[in-house]
A and B are shown apart, each in its own frame.
Chain A
Amino acid sequence: MAHHELTTPVTEAQVRALHVDDTVTLQGVLFGIRDATQIALFDRGRKTRFDLTGHAVIHTAPNVKKVPPSPEHPAGYAPLCVGTTTSARMERFTRPLLGELGVRLIIGKGGLGSASLAAFGELGGAYLAVIGGTAALETTWVEAIEDVDLDDLNPESLWRFRIHDFGPLRVAMDSHGGSIYATVDADARAKRAAALASLGVKAR
């Protein structure tokens, strides 16, 4: 259970050094993506001017305030509340994120499934769990919205955040086939019969 301080972009070797239950604190740049962003990129063939190679993305659509562009708010947006959404809805985009855009780290909550886990193994990626519903805290790790692309999808634009001490995040899925979610799910299903028995129900 090692702790890793990583500055984005990261290399494949850095990602493959991550193991489930390790913790990570990120510095540098973080990209925000969501359902509509990925539908646009991967289903509708839209392109982004950002280079996501080696980068980390977070499943988010932030609360922002439009402000005049300034050194503090270069993109003309002040980040009001930046949190995390449920990752599972975006399961099918993991492979193209890694394969087509070169993303290495996905940050989200609730976990991804077996197809994503396979992609992490084959292409060299990992899933870092942030605690969902703790956006007030997460916002204190975001310094600025540096840039934004595909902003017609607002709030599901492609956001480029400048971050500082983002974390600690927990490595919940790694490139070695490890997934806390798969383990917890299997353990929980193994306890189903006992839970039903406590209710006087015979498991079927």
Chain B
Amino acid sequence: MRIDPQAIESAAKELYIRALKILPDDVKQGFATLAARETSATAKEVLGTMIRNIAVAEATDNLLCQDTGIPIYNVTIGRGVEFGAADGVALKAAIRRGCERATREHPLRSSIVHPLSRQNAHTSCGIEVPVIDIDVAEDFEGLKIEMIPKGSGSENNSWLKMAVPADGTDAVKTFVVDCVLDAGGRTCPPTIVGVGVGGTADLCVHLAKRAAIRPLGTHCADPAGASLEDELSAAVNLLGVGPQGLGGDSTAFAVHVELAATHITMNPVAVNMQCHSARRASAIITPEGVRYGF
């Protein structure tokens, strides 16, 4: 099958707006879980306000958060899709047009500026933005597009440490705890703490991002990574940073870990966080139509 660029463009537009307005079910469930076990009165109140906001956004058809974020589109080419170089060029152009149309037609605040001149084109687009990642998979038919409006409050708190093998896994664990302490309330906790371990420097940071945007309730495919997730999730919630950094048990929904093999001389670890407004939307496009979800 071939996917019509027009369908991609409309989906790219729709996905940006949907992601900004409707929080995924797993994140809503995450709030319920945290609220049920929170022991601080202040934190209970703060979580209550966040939960109320989700309902207000849906009732008023408004954005959950004012931050329209850096638009990220993760594209997965599934089974049955014919995809050549020309399709790839058309796909990227269609996503860009969709992102710009969402911004102009909704309208949305364009949060994107040139990095040196700081000029805002009011399109949510710029050099290399929207971020578009293209991957392949065989477990579904059609083209999948996941849209992440990545908020800057959490993105501004991102870290990479090129630890050495002699530092061991202890360095990874210590680094994650210290990043959560340093972030305090600035990342809009409760967060999903994304941790990348291994790879090259750039892959390690990318893994941390992938971990941060993974749905709650999912686990690292590697058993050692999954077990590290459980340990770290419990540990960071002992710190008492709490929602908004105002104190409490609910510092993180979870710590997610993604792994890549690394060099015998290397032990890199990266942290990227997702704020409590852990927004994402996805669509699977086939010639028959578009199916939206999270």
Interface pick from A11-19, A84-92, A115-123: A84-92
B109→A198 contact, CB < 8 A: no
Interface: A192 (CB within 8 A): yes
Describe B's contact surface by its main secondary structure: loop
**A204 vs B170: C-alpha distance when bound (angstroms):** 11
**A62 is contacted by which of B66, B247, B275 (Cβ under 8 Å)?**
B66
B109→A155 contact, CB < 8 A: yes
From known contacts A60-B66, A136-B64, infer whether A192 and B49 are also in contact, taking CB-CB under 8 Å. no
A190-204 to B contact mask, C-beta < 8 Å, 1/0: 011011101111011
B174→A83 contact, CB < 8 A: no
Interface: B163 (CB within 8 A): no
Chain A residues, Cβ within 8 Å of B188: 86, 109-110, 132-133
Report B's interface with A, CB cutoff 8 A.
42, 46, 49-50, 52-53, 56-57, 60, 62-68, 107-111, 118, 120, 122, 151-153, 156, 170, 173-174, 177-178, 181, 184-188, 231-232, 234-236, 238-247, 275-277
A85→B153 contact, CB < 8 A: yes
B277→A81 contact, CB < 8 A: no
Chain B residues, Cβ within 8 Å of A172: 246
Interface: A65 (CB within 8 A): yes
B186→A188 contact, CB < 8 A: no
CB of A59 to closest CB in B, whole Å: 11
A188→B239 contact, CB < 8 A: yes
CB of B254 to closest CB in A, whole Å: 15
A62→B277 contact, CB < 8 A: no
Report A's interface with B, CB cutoff 8 A.
36, 60-66, 80-86, 88-89, 109-111, 129, 131-137, 139-140, 154-155, 170, 172, 180-181, 183-185, 187-189, 191-192, 194-196, 198-201, 203-204
B62→A189 contact, CB < 8 A: no
**A203 vs B184: C-alpha distance when bound (angstroms):** 19
CB of B142 to closest CB in A, whole Å: 32
Known: A109-B185, A140-B56. 8 other contacts (CB 8 A): A65-B107, A89-B156, A110-B188, A110-B245, A181-B185, A184-B240, A189-B181, A203-B174
16 A–B contacts, CB within 8 A, in A order: A36-B118, A62-B109, A83-B67, A110-B187, A111-B245, A132-B153, A132-B188, A134-B49, A136-B62, A140-B56, A184-B242, A188-B181, A191-B240, A195-B236, A198-B238, A203-B174
B185→A195 contact, CB < 8 A: no
**A180 is contacted by which of B156, B232, B246 (Cβ under 8 Å)?**
B246
Chain A residues, Cβ within 8 Å of B170: 200-201
Chain A residues, Cβ within 8 Å of B186: 86, 88, 110-111
Residue of A nearest to B185 (CB): A110
Chain B residues, Cβ within 8 Å of A110: 153, 184-188, 244-245
From known contacts A85-B67, A129-B244, A134-B50, infer whether A184 and B62 are also in contact, taking CB-CB under 8 Å. no
From known contacts A199-B231, A199-B235, infer whether A63 and B66 are also in contact, taking CB-CB under 8 Å. yes
